[in-house]
Amino acid sequence: TAGGLARLPRALGLHHPAVVVLELGGNDGLRALPIEQMRANLGRMIDLAKGAGAKVLLLGMRIPPNYGPQYTQQFSAVYADLARDEHVPLVPFLLSDVALHPDLMQADGVHPVEAAQPLLLATVWPVLAPLLKC
């Protein structure tokens, strides 16, 4: 999220998007970044995007359970808490229909393969489509 936060102001200024889809945080979780730092980075990105006149869609992520129940629960709660507090729509877990299917994930077990893309679209589209309507 730190890298996304660093790049976002320039991207907003260059492109003036009507909609910003934020799907960040997975690497923070895998690196066990402090939850409050991730929350602050995502919250700041939401504020920047909204301040630039964009609608925001937040796509939630989860991390493997081997990070411990407390950290994994706090990690996934960040997305729901921010969506509620910032009044932005949320897809709770982008990989909900693909994460547990090894044939839809790369060998690293973290990133989806090309064949998973239609399922990711089916997960995101119902929440994204209303944001695209004028």
pLDDT in tens, the chain (134 residues): 999 999 999 999 999 999 999 999 999 998 989 999 999 999 999 999 999 999 999 999 999 888 899 999 999 999 999 999 999 999 999 999 999 999 999 998 889 999 999 999 999 999 999 999 85
* 35 phi, psi to nearest 5 deg: -55, -45
The predicted model scores a pTM of 0.94
Sheet containing 55-59: give its strands across.
19-22, 55-59, 90-91
